[in-house]
Amino acid sequence: MTQKNIEDFKCPICNKKDILYNGWNQNKQIYYCKNCKKRFERHELKNNNYNPSIIINAISYFNIGNSLNDVVQLIDKKYKTKVTTNLIYSWIGDYYKICNYKKIRAYILKNYNGGIIDAFSYNHNDCNYNFMFHKPKLKILCDNHPKLLDYITKMKELYPKNFFEKGRKHSNLNLDINFRKEGKYNQACRLADFSLKACDKNTEKRKFVENFMLINDSSTVACEVPVWFWEKYLDVGICGHIDILQIRKGNIYVLEYSSNDSKNKEENIASKLFLYASGLSFRTSIPLMKFRCAWFDQNNYYEFSPWEQNFSVKFRNKLYFRKI
C-alpha cells in the first residue's frame, strides 16, 4: 500500500483521515489515528462492488431461516438489486468465520419449528427497549442452566413494570471496582466491525451490533435483557438491561457494546456490568463464578470476572466494601 492509499480512507472510529502505519498483527496491517489516538485494522468486504448493506442483510436473511431463493426476493424488494442464489451462497462462505451461526443453522431448522426470534418492548427511564431472544439457541445452550431458560422465556410474565418505574438506575450507584480486565481482539470485535459496515448513523450502532449478533453469532442468545434485584447490603432496588447475553463453554457472558473506552467510562461500565451480572445470578440461582463481564467495540474487547472483584461504594453517607 502506498502513502497515497493511506490518505484515501478514514479512521473507522472518528471518521478523520490523519492516519499512520502502526505495525502488524498476525500478518495484518495495523493503523494509528493521530486524531482519536486509536489503533485499528482496515477491513474491506469481498465483492465490494455491492453495497455492504446488501451483503450483510443477505447473510442475516439466510441465517434467520429463509431459503436462498427467498433471500434473492427479499434483496430485490428492499434494494431493487438483482442477485443470484450462487452469489448469496458465496457471501455466506466468504464470511463464515465471522457469521458462525451457519454451523448450527441446519440443525435448528430441522429440529425447531416456528419463529426463531421472540421479542417484546418495555420502557425504562422514558426510553423504549426491545428485548429479544433466539429461541433455539437458548434451548441448546441453556441445557445446564434451566433457570436462565425460564427467566428469559417467561420475561413477558415476570417483567416488573412498577419496579422499573421506581427502581434505582445503575448510573446513580457507581461502584469503585478494582477490576482486572483482559484486553484482546476477538469474535465480538469482528462481528461488530462487520455489522457496522451497514450502519450509517452513530445513534444506531448499538442496535445494529445487537441485532446482527443475535442472528449471526452462535453464542449470542438475547439482547436488551431486563434485570432487577434488591441489593440487600445497600437496601436499594437496582434495575437495568443487559445489552448482549452470551453462553460460551458453560459460562454466562454479560456484554456491552461501547465505542468509548476512556478511564471514567471504563469504571462506569465495569460497575454496571458487575451489578447486572450479580442481579442475573440472583434471579437465576446461577453462581456468580459462572459469569463473565465484558465490553467491546470494533477494535478491542475487555473482560473481567465479577466473582474475583473487590469493590467499595459510598451510598447514603456510608461506605460499603466487598473483598474476596
Which amino acid would we find at residue 55? I
Secondary structure in 3-state letters for 269-297: HHHHHHHHHHHHHHHHCCCHHHEEEEEEC
Q: Do residues 298 and 183 make contact, with C-beta atoms less than 8 angstroms apart? A: no
Residue boundaries of the structural domains of the chain: 3-41, 52-95, 117-322
Cα separation, 130 vs 164, in Å, equals: 15
250-282 per-position pLDDT tens digit: 999 999 998 765 555 888 888 889 889 999 999
What confidence category does residue 185 fall into, taking pLDDT thresholds of 50, 70 and 90?
A: confident
Cell of 101: 451461526
- State the pLDDT at residue 311: 60
52-61 per-position pLDDT tens digit: 999 999 999 9
* pTM score: 0.81
Q: Residue 195 belongs to what H/E stretch?
A: helix 187-195
